[in-house]
A and B are shown apart, each in its own frame.
Chain A
């Protein structure tokens, strides 16, 4: 079955993403920090696609992997804006953003492909190709997926704002578990 694993690895690439946004809602300010998963694939038309795994309900394309990530990132932020437009309380907003993050594909296909790609890389049968050569490497075990939604306006209770809480936008290639 090495051939099948190799075929999966060459086509699918397991990506880990980290994003942080501050979103104005109806009477609140929310800070949203995400550690997520996405699958990158070069489709038959030559474009690179980034398909969300967590959050699953999002996709974006680009002529290279950086462009695909930047468009994915922009679409994610726009989705946070759209949810904020629905005129909810902070609690409603947080619940809907969590739903967007946690709800998977109905068939979980992209999540299975993500896991299969990681397994193929960990088997040592092949290496990430050239477009991913300069991406940071991260272990999924060290960076579990999560979403954190915090109220950070004047109404927030017991919330001290610290520069150490700032998170840069990144995307990284998943790597083998450390020995």
Chain B
């Protein structure tokens, strides 16, 4: 089983580390918008593998230190 985090923890991280972000549900993925960038491939599962979160953090320019403090990367 790969390391993963509950979506609720990811949402808490985004609320604090990516203020002003938005999340909408597309047919296949969650679409996260922050700072004029659109991350289209966050899985819709309740638990999400950390690799997806690490990629989203890098892509959207979220502080790694901030995200790490929530234990989701």
B65 close to chain A: CB less than 8 A: no
Count of B interface residues, CB-CB < 8 Å:
23
Chain B residues lying within 8 Å of A56, measured Cβ to Cβ, are: 59
**Docked pose: A85 CA to B50 CA in angstroms:** 27
B71 close to chain A: CB less than 8 A: no
**Docked pose: A151 CA to B27 CA in angstroms:** 23
**Docked pose: A109 CA to B56 CA in angstroms:** 12
Per-position 1/0 for B22-35, Cβ under 8 A of A = 00001111010001
**Docked pose: A44 CA to B51 CA in angstroms:** 11
A82 touches B28 (CB 8 A): yes
Q: Which of A29-37, A73-81, A163-171 contacts B (4 or more CB under 8 A)?
A: A73-81
Chain B residues lying within 8 Å of A79, measured Cβ to Cβ, are: 28-29, 40-41
B12 close to chain A: CB less than 8 A: no
A173 close to chain B: CB less than 8 A: no
**A105/B28 contact (C-beta < 8 A), A75-B41, A100-B40 known:** no
**A61/B2 contact (C-beta < 8 A), A49-B51, A79-B41, A106-B59 known:** yes
**A58/B26 contact (C-beta < 8 A), A82-B40, A83-B40 known:** no
**A57/B51 contact (C-beta < 8 A), A45-B3, A81-B27 known:** no
- Is the contact region of chain A dominated by helix, strand, or loop, or is it mixed? mixed
Chain B residues lying within 8 Å of A49, measured Cβ to Cβ, are: 51
Chain A residues lying within 8 Å of B29, measured Cβ to Cβ, are: 75, 78-79, 82
14 more A-B contacts (CB under 8 A) besides A82-B29, A100-B40, A106-B60?
A: A43-B2, A47-B2, A57-B55, A58-B40, A58-B55, A59-B52, A78-B28, A82-B26, A83-B40, A99-B38, A105-B59, A105-B61, A106-B58, A110-B58
